[in-house]
Amino acid sequence: MTSDTALPPAPGAQAPAPTTETQRRWARQHSIGTLWETWGITAVLVVLLAASPLLSSDFLTVANLQSVLRESAYLGIVAAAMTLAVMNGTFDLSVGGQLALVSVTTLMGYAAGGTGLAALVAVLTGMVCGAVNGALVTAMRVPPFVATLGMLFVFRGVAYVLTQDGPKTLPYSEIGSPFVKIGGLNIAGIPLPFLIMLACYGAVWVLLRRTATGRRIVAFGSSPEAARFCGISVHRIRMLIFVVIGVSVGIAALTYISRVWTADGSAQDGFELRVIAAVVLGGTSLKGGKGTLIGTFSAVLLVGVLNDLLVSRGVDASYQRVVLGCVLITALAIDGLRTRFAAPGSFARMLPRRRREAPAP
C-alpha cells in the first residue's frame, strides 16, 4: 500500500487542503478507508497465508493448497453471482435448494447421456431455477426475500421427490469418465474447479464494470428511486440477476457433484447462508450499491483457508463454526467503526450531545 501520503488527518488537526480537484479525488480514492473497503479482506487473507506455516506445518504443501482451491470453487462461483444480487440490493436465499436440485438432475443427466448431457442439464436446470425466481419477483411482484425463501423449500422438495428411492449417485465403474475429471483434474498444477471459478469472476467482472447493465445493477442498488427516474427497468435487471445466479449454481454444481458423486434433497444444507456470508465478509453492503468482486473472491478463499487451518489444528467442529461466525461479525464491526470514524468530526460526535449543542444558537 502506497498511500501513506493520504492518511486521514489526526483528530482535531486541520487537514491540509488539497489544492486541486484532481488531488482531492486522488486522496479520496486512496484513503485508508477506501483501500480497506476494496482490499481489506484481501490483506487479511495475505496475513493469514503468511502466518499459516506457523499454524500448520502441512498447510503449504501443493496437495493441501490444491485441496483448498478445489474445495472453495463451488462456493466462490455462486458467491460471484450473489455479489451482483447484493449490490443490486437483493439476494437469493434459494441457492442451497438449487444446488441440491441441480446436483440431482446432473447425475440423472449423466446416467442418461454421459458428460456432455450432464453439463448441459446442469446449466439448463440452474437457468430454469433462476428464471422461476426471476419470474416470481418481476411478474408476480413477490418480494425477493419471500420468493427465494419459498423456492428454497420447493427446489429442495423437488430434489427429495427425485431421490425418493435412494440418493442419485455416480457408480464406481465411472471412475475413468471425463465427468470425474471436472472436479479432479489439475491443469499445470491448478485444480480445474478453481480455474472455472476464475473464469466466472472474469465474466461477472466484465458484466459489472464494462457493460451498461452492470452500471444499472449498481445504480439501482445505491438508489432505487434515482435509478427509476433515470428510466432503468428494475424488472429486466432483477430477471437477469436471478438467471445469472441460476447459471452460476449450474456451473458450481458441476464442480461440486463431480467431486462428491452423490446427491439428494439434503445436499449442502445451509449453503445459501454461507454464500451470503462470504459476500458480506468481502465488504459488499447488504443495503446495496456498494461492493467489490475482489472482496468476495478473497473472502471465499479466506473462509476456505481458515477452515483448512482449523481442521488441521484439530479444532473441534463446533468451535470451527464459532470461529467462522466471529470472523464475519468482526469484519463487519471493523467496517461499521470505520464508517463511523471516517466522516469529519466523527470524534466530536462521539462526545455527549449536550457539549456539542451548547454553543449552537
Partner 1 sequence: MRTTLSTLALAGVLALGLSACSDSTTAEGGKPSGKASGDVTVGFSVYDMQYEFFQKMEKGTREAVEAKGWKFKLHDEKSDENEMVTGAQALLDQGVDVLIISPFKPDALGPIVAKAKQKKIPVIIDDIGGGGTPYDAIVISDNADGGKQAADYMAQQVAANGAKSKKVVSITCEPSAVYAARRNQAFDQQIKDKGFQVVTELSGNSKAEEAYKIMKDALAKDPDVAGVFACNDPMGVAAANAIKDAGKDPVKGIVTVGFNADPEAITAIGKGGLSATIAQDPAGMGAKTVELAAQAINGGKLTYDDESNREVFQKVTLVTKDNVAQFAG
Q: What is the distance, to the nearest Å, from the Cα of residue 351 to the centroid of all Cα atoms in its chain? A: 37
Dihedral class, residue 270 (left if φ above 0, else alpha if ψ from -120 to 50, else beta): left
Residue found by looking up cell 476464475 in the block: 198
The reply to whether 21 sits near partner 1 by the rule CB under 8 A is: no
Residue 302 makes contact with partner 1 by CB under 8 A: no
122 binds partner 1 (CB under 8 A): yes
Identify which of residues 33 and 167 has a Cβ nearer to partner 1 in the complex: 167
Contacts of 214 (CB under 8 A, 6+ apart): 207, 208
Q: How far is the CB of 173 from partner 1 (least distance, A)?
A: 9
191 in helix, strand or coil? strand
Q: List C-alpha distances in Å: 148 to 129, 311, 325.
A: 10, 33, 23
Of 194, 293, 208, the closest CA to residue 252 belongs to: 194
Our finding on whether 115 is near partner 1 (CB under 8 A) is yes
Applying CB under 8 A, among 41, 243, 293, 299 the residue interacting with partner 1 is 243
113 binds partner 1 (CB under 8 A): no
Q: Using the rule CB under 8 A, which residue among 18, 157, 178, 224 binds partner 1?
A: 178
Q: How far apart are CA 72 and CA 75, in angstroms?
A: 6
How many helices (H) and strands (E) in the chain?
15, 4
Q: Residue 52 and residue 2: Cα distance in Å, rounded? A: 25
Task: Confirm or reject binding of residue 182 to partner 1 (CB under 8 A).
Answer: yes
Identify the burial level of 140 via C-beta atoms within 10 angstroms of its C-beta, where 0-12 means exposed, 13-18 middle and 19 or more buried: exposed
Q: Which stretch binds partner 1 (CB under 8 A): 143-151, 201-209, 332-340, 341-349?
A: 201-209
Binding span for partner 1 by CB under 8 A among 40-48, 87-95, 219-227, 247-255: 247-255
**Please, what is the minimum distance in Å from the beta carbon of residue 280 to partner 1?**
22
Residue 212 interacts with partner 1 (CB under 8 A): yes or no: yes
**Binder among 155, 179, 194, 220 for partner 1 (CB under 8 A):** 179
Under the criterion CB under 8 A, does residue 159 sit at the interface with partner 1? no
CA 222 from centre of chain = 18
- At its nearest, how many Å lie between partner 1 and the CB of residue 149? 22
Give backbone dihedrals phi and psi of 169, rounded to 5 degrees, phi first: -140, 160
Does 59 contact partner 1 by CB under 8 A? no
Bridge partners of 186? 191
User: What does the buried/exposed string (b/e) look like for 103-134 if buried means 16 or more CB atoms within 10 Å of the residue's CB?
Assistant: bbbbbbbbeeeebebbbebbbbbbbbbbebbb
Q: What's the closest the beta carbon of residue 190 comes to partner 1, in angstroms?
A: 12
- Smaller CB distance to partner 1: residue 260 or 327? 260
Nearest to 217 by CA among 226, 208, 225: 208
Among 314, 352, 359, 361, binds partner 1 (CB under 8 A): 314
At closest approach, how far in Å is the CB of 318 from partner 1? 8
- Binding region for partner 1 (CB under 8 A) out of 9-17, 57-65, 282-290, 331-339: 57-65
CB 186 within 8 A of CB 192: yes
Which is nearest to 110 in space by CA: 165, 158, 181?
181
Judged by CB under 8 A, the residue of 35, 48, 154, 260 near partner 1 is: 260
The rounded distance, in Å, linking the Cα atoms of 260 and 103 is: 10
Q: Give least dist CB 133 to partner 1, A.
A: 16
Number of residues that bind partner 1 (CB under 8 A): 62
CB closer to partner 1, 33 vs 184: 184
Residues in the site for partner 1, rule: CB under 8 A? 58, 61, 63-64, 67, 70-71, 115-116, 119-120, 122-123, 127, 166-167, 169-172, 175, 178-187, 192, 195-196, 199-200, 203, 206-207, 211-213, 236, 240, 243-244, 247-248, 250-251, 254, 256, 259-262, 267-268, 311, 314, 316-317
